[in-house]
Chains A and B, each alone.
Chain A
Amino acid sequence: MIPFIEKTIRKELGGKYDFRDTKLCFLKFSTPSSGAGLNDKVLFFVFKDDEEEPFLVIKTVRNYEAKFVIEQGFSRLKQLNDLIQNIPYGKMFPHAVYLYDDGKEFIFSVETTCHGKRVGRSEGDLRKILEKYNDWQKDTFSGGKNFTYDINNYYLDVIKTLDLKEKDHKEITDYFLKLISGKEIKVSRIPQHGDLTTDNILIGRDGLSIVDCERFGLVTLPGFDIFYILSRFYGRKIDSRYSQALDKYFQMLGIGLKPEPYLYFIYYLYDLSFKKEYALKNKKAKDIISDFETSLN
């Protein structure tokens, strides 16, 4: 496939990125958590010969039937690019450059790269990430006219994606209703990155960069990204570090939300929905609820 990709991008992008006559080298890269599944994406960094940093990233899938992974990822990155074109976060995210689809065997997308080193897992790194992330969210989404959405609708949206059996669906809904205890809360819809892990964050000369934006805007419940990255740093135990970080984020964006169990439960379900193949295997409602309660206690 690489020989074909090389020929195609040379023709389509060689002029724009100045590599028509330059030798290209391809690095296939995936992290241990990137996935070994049929529908998982595969990444290639493209280097100009003799250069120390890649300038493009190619994304494809192992199986053409999973082409939606590439199509959606490309379109979501484009949405993000459109959203931030007038504010100073252009270098914080990659740019969607080109999408190839032959309609039968091959699909791949091309993005620009972000430069920097992968972040570590120290408290200092986390502080830096949250600070920069909060700045971006604030500058991009606060003060504008964001649509509001009933918190119950967020729950209904996420539970639908889990494909649970009717009995389990009902049991989880009863549990959620107990947690929310009749509160009616309207929340601003704030697009979340959706996959804010240390694998996807780089720190370099341009500051903080966030890559792998395929899930951008899939979740619009504010705070999900914070929950997601904290759970990768601190594990599943939801404690005061979570509530402090979320409180700070909500206040900064002027959102009237409090980090309460019902909110954590929706975050938790979103998290499950992204890895449902692995996480939901043979799981019943009681297992899901019990796992969640364990993380709360």
Chain B
Amino acid sequence: MKDNIIYTGKKPIAVEEGIYLYSKDRYWGKATPEKMKEALGFINSKGWTAFKNKFKGEFDFTFDENRADWRFNMPIDKNSVVLETGAGMGRTTIPMARVAKKVVAFDGSLLRMRYLKKRAEKEGLDNIEVFVGDLYDLPLRDNSFDVITMNGVLEWVGKTDRFKNPRQAQIEALKICKRLLKKNGYLYIGIENRFALAYLRGTDHGGLKYTSYMPRFVANIYSKAKGRGAYQTYTYSKGGYENLIKEAGFENMEFYLSYPGYNLPRIIIPYDNLNILKYVIKKLKPTTSFTSLLVKGVASLRFILWLYRKMFFSFSIIVKK
């Protein structure tokens, strides 16, 4: 029975292995569903040690405890109730649950929630609740959470036909989070920068190069022409996120640069402080090659630092209700 302080009482469409499904199961992830099933079966039959050995290098990232290190920038303690949207395999759910009173984690994929449930059991964390659900149709009461996380989620919520365009979908998702947050609660957003330098080399979320740099309508035509369907995974610059978040009704937000990325925030730099960015580049990065020496040299130039920040790979955004 779900805690009726948080849950609305909406009936699940199914219950599988003790996990409530409030929406249809939709698998996503780098591993194929077959691989996930095999992994879960292996954990059941052989245990975690054997699993880690057999699947070495494939699921290791789910055991890192530093993936939610952005939580240090928020006031989270043993009284905090946290909602993790798109919790996946729990790489941030587990670290959050160690310091919070309760973490409610949901995802569109039953297989991933089964994995997270098993991880919670393994770690002896009985303060994690999981369910399968859709952000736009949650069984949760308003004003219930001290913290909500959208770690690698906001860019994907536009992949829906519910709204006239991905931006509207993103604003609606943020509005939902605002409603679910308690007064003075915090929303965490981990997401890429639309104009990241990395997107000039690698692919955007839709699997194509340069689409984040293109005007949206061009990216849409290009994506369809390439057989990838409509372009729905919008990312933004810092200013773009500020406008989006404000349009959802929030006013207070702080931006951080996460390095190497929001998924593994080894270094978290306050966005507004160029001195700290300079310090990281010049003093903390070792000089191992001519290129690193060159980078350190040009980091003395304010304009270069400013430009580098504009093209930084990802942001950690802390928004206060």
Judge whether A162 is part of the interface by a CB distance below 8 angstroms.
no
Judge whether B285 is part of the interface by a CB distance below 8 angstroms.
yes
- Assuming the contacts A36-B64, A47-B275, asked whether A1 and B283 have C-beta atoms less than 8 A apart, the reply is no
C-alpha gap A104/B99 in the complex (Å)? 11
Chain B positions 85 through 121: 1 when the CB is less than 8 Å from some CB of chain A, otherwise 0:
0000000000100110000000000000000000000
Residues from chain B with a CB closer than 8 A to the CB of A37 are: 65
C-alpha gap A4/B73 in the complex (Å)? 10
Q: List 10 A-B contacts (CB under 8 A).
A: A1-B71, A27-B268, A32-B266, A36-B64, A38-B65, A44-B72, A50-B275, A62-B95, A63-B65, A105-B78
Which of B53, B66, B269 gathers most chain A CB within 10 Å?
B66
**Contact between A27 and B287 (Cβ–Cβ < 8 Å)?**
no
Query: 9 new A-B pairs (CB below 8 Å) besides A40-B66, A105-B78?
Result: A27-B270, A28-B268, A29-B280, A42-B69, A42-B72, A51-B275, A105-B77, A118-B284, A119-B286
C-alpha gap A52/B288 in the complex (Å)? 23
Smallest Cβ-Cβ distance to A64: which chain B residue: B99
Residues from chain A with a CB closer than 8 A to the CB of B71 are: 1
Contact of B278 among A34, A36, A52, A54 (CB under 8 A): A52
Chain B positions 252 through 291: 1 when the CB is less than 8 Å from some CB of chain A, otherwise 0:
0000000000000111111001011011101111111000
Judge whether A287 is part of the interface by a CB distance below 8 angstroms.
no
**Contact between B286 and A198 (Cβ–Cβ < 8 Å)?**
yes
C-alpha gap A1/B76 in the complex (Å)? 7
Residues from chain B with a CB closer than 8 A to the CB of A104 are: 78
Judge whether B57 is part of the interface by a CB distance below 8 angstroms.
no
Judge whether A127 is part of the interface by a CB distance below 8 angstroms.
no
Contact of B72 among A2, A36, A51, A202 (CB under 8 A): A2
Chain A positions 25 through 60: 1 when the CB is less than 8 Å from some CB of chain B, otherwise 0:
111111110111110101011010111111000001
Residues from chain B with a CB closer than 8 A to the CB of A40 are: 65-66
Smallest Cβ-Cβ distance to B77: which chain A residue: A105
**Contact between B65 and A120 (Cβ–Cβ < 8 Å)?**
no
Residues from chain A with a CB closer than 8 A to the CB of B275 are: 47, 50-52
Smallest Cβ-Cβ distance to A204: which chain B residue: B283
> How many positions in chain A have a CB within 8 Å of any CB in the partner chain?
44
- Assuming the contacts A32-B266, A62-B66, asked whether A47 and B276 have C-beta atoms less than 8 A apart, the reply is yes
**Contact between A118 and B265 (Cβ–Cβ < 8 Å)?**
no
Residues from chain B with a CB closer than 8 A to the CB of A30 are: 66, 69, 266-267
Chain A positions 117 through 159: 1 when the CB is less than 8 Å from some CB of chain B, otherwise 0:
1111100000000000000000000000000000000000000
The 6 closest A-B pairs by CB, nearest first: A36-B64, A28-B268, A36-B66, A120-B287, A118-B286, A38-B65
Cβ distance A26 to chain B, nearest Cβ, rounded Å: 7
Cβ distance A6 to chain B, nearest Cβ, rounded Å: 11
C-alpha gap A203/B288 in the complex (Å)? 15
Contact of B288 among A29, A53, A121 (CB under 8 A): A121
C-alpha gap A42/B265 in the complex (Å)? 11
**Contact between A2 and B73 (Cβ–Cβ < 8 Å)?**
yes
Residues from chain A with a CB closer than 8 A to the CB of B284 are: 29, 118
Residues from chain B with a CB closer than 8 A to the CB of A120 are: 286-288
Residues from chain B with a CB closer than 8 A to the CB of A103 are: none
Chain A positions 228 through 269: 1 when the CB is less than 8 Å from some CB of chain B, otherwise 0:
000000000000000000000000000000000000000000
Cβ distance B309 to chain A, nearest Cβ, rounded Å: 14
- Assuming the contacts A27-B267, A36-B66, A62-B65, asked whether A117 and B288 have C-beta atoms less than 8 A apart, the reply is no
C-alpha gap A40/B95 in the complex (Å)? 13
Judge whether B29 is part of the interface by a CB distance below 8 angstroms.
no
Judge whether B207 is part of the interface by a CB distance below 8 angstroms.
no
Residues from chain A with a CB closer than 8 A to the CB of B286 are: 118-121, 198-199
- B residues 116-151 with Cβ under 8 Å of A? none
Smallest Cβ-Cβ distance to B123: which chain A residue: A38
**Contact between B98 and A63 (Cβ–Cβ < 8 Å)?**
yes
Cβ distance B209 to chain A, nearest Cβ, rounded Å: 28
Judge whether A88 is part of the interface by a CB distance below 8 angstroms.
no
Judge whether B75 is part of the interface by a CB distance below 8 angstroms.
yes
Cβ distance A69 to chain B, nearest Cβ, rounded Å: 13
Judge whether A14 is part of the interface by a CB distance below 8 angstroms.
no
- B residues 59-87 with Cβ under 8 Å of A? 64-67, 69, 71-78
**Contact between B98 and A62 (Cβ–Cβ < 8 Å)?**
yes
Judge whether A90 is part of the interface by a CB distance below 8 angstroms.
no
C-alpha gap A158/B16 in the complex (Å)? 50
Which of A1, A27, A30, A50 gathers most chain B CB within 10 Å?
A27
Contact of B265 among A25, A28, A34, A51 (CB under 8 A): A28
**Contact between B280 and A1 (Cβ–Cβ < 8 Å)?**
no
**Contact between B287 and A29 (Cβ–Cβ < 8 Å)?**
no
Residues from chain B with a CB closer than 8 A to the CB of A217 are: none
Contact of A53 among B74, B75, B279 (CB under 8 A): B279
Which of B64, B266, B268, B283 gathers most chain A CB within 10 Å?
B283
Cβ distance A257 to chain B, nearest Cβ, rounded Å: 32
Smallest Cβ-Cβ distance to B78: which chain A residue: A105
Chain B positions 177 through 212: 1 when the CB is less than 8 Å from some CB of chain A, otherwise 0:
000000000000000000000000000000000000
**Contact between B65 and A36 (Cβ–Cβ < 8 Å)?**
yes
